[in-house]
Amino acid sequence: MTISATARSASLPHPIILWIAQFRAWVFLVMLIAFFEIWSRLSDGTSFLFNIYNIQSIAVFATAPLLLALGQTFVIISAGIDLSLGFVMGLSSVIAAHACNYFAARWGFPPFAAMLAAILSGTVVTIVPGLVNGLLISRLQVPPFIGTLGMYGVARGAAYLFAGGMTIAVDNDWYSAIGNSRVLGVPVLVILTGIACLVMHYMLSQTRFGQHTYALGASKAAANRAGIDIKKLTLKLYLLSAIMAGIAGALYTGRFTAGAAQAGEPLLLDSIAAVVIGGASLFGGSGTIWGTIAGALVIAVIQYGLVFINVEPFWQFIAVGAVIIVSVLVDQTQRRLLGGRQVE
């Protein structure tokens, strides 16, 4: 017995509900901003949204977790997870700081060249943990959770060893400008992160690499039958994730003019949360870069907004955790309503 097209369409949720499900992160972001704007207006007459300082602060605050989340998006869409990102970022930050000081003092590099060498060094060093993660998961069939959790510990120890248990100060005007200057009122960090978002969006939505990532997350067996080299693809995914953490760490050093082993430790949860809030399924096969951007902004608005209205900072953790739970519940409900299909 077959089901008619009319019956099948009648069983689907209303198009408005599907639209809200698809763009739920952006809808929630608008609601959050409206909430903080109304609260601020009623409490002391100030504006939360129409304040250039607030907008710049939120945008800069979102850059580091968003850079981590960009790589995490690819991994989660492939039905994996990368728990090592926080300390891979910290390792990059420390190496970048050391490299900047070393090339300037030992080799006499001018500030601009020392800055470039530092960013390159901090990014390149993350190839090692990325390759190890990818090889463990693709070749040795180690579960992503276990493999990247092990690398979390290795990267953490290496970062603290290279830092000597201290924060590595950097004295470089060019490097500081990368992290703290503005172009036409827009922070350079935001511009660089925006460029990274566009590149990653193109890779995910317009290239064969992105298509294969979705296919792997939807069904590993089907992807294998389609001729996709799953081992090679998995290796590339974890390498990409680590490199994005490296970029985040190198830019962190510029922003704070110092390298810190613990730079990304509090951002790991935020990177995963941004991807999940943005609509990616932890079961794999769905997610977008635009959704991840919205997710990162949601977290930044929550954290900055609560401080702005003088709420205890500890409530930030509760609020972000609650949003993650709600997002997962929405994803589960969406999967049931669509019979396992995902809204792209």
The predicted model gives 46-55 an average pLDDT of 84
Domain ranges of the chain: 15-337
177: exposed, middle or buried (Cβ count in 10 Å: 0-12, 13-18, 19+): middle
pLDDT of residue 4: 46
Tell me how many helices (H) and strands (E) the chain has.
16, 4
pLDDT of residue 24: 78
pLDDT of residue 1: 40
Distances (CA, A) of 243 to 119, 193, 316, 333: 11, 14, 28, 34
Q: Is the pLDDT of residue 8 over 50?
A: no
pTM over 0.85: yes
Cα 295 from Cα 271, distance rounded (Å): 9
In our burial notation (b when 16+ CB lie closer than 10 A, e otherwise), range 93-130 reads bbbbbbbbbebbeeeebebeebbbbbbebbbebbebbb
Which of 7-21, 205-219, 280-294 is the least confident region? 7-21
Cα 122 from Cα 200, distance rounded (Å): 20
Cα 115 from Cα 283, distance rounded (Å): 40
pLDDT in tens, 75-108: 999 999 999 999 999 999 999 999 999 999 888 8
Q: Which residues contact 318 (CB under 8 A, 6 or more apart)?
A: none
The predicted model gives 210-227 an average pLDDT of 93
pLDDT in tens, 295-326: 999 999 998 888 888 887 778 778 888 888 88
**Residue 3: band (very low, low, confident or very high) from pLDDT cuts 50, 70, 90:** very low
pLDDT of residue 21: 65
pLDDT of residue 336: 67
Q: Give the CATH class of 15-337.
A: mainly alpha
pLDDT of residue 18: 61
The predicted model gives 134-138 an average pLDDT of 95
pLDDT of residue 165: 85
Q: Which residue has the higher pLDDT, 230 or 307?
A: 230
Cα 238 from Cα 159, distance rounded (Å): 19
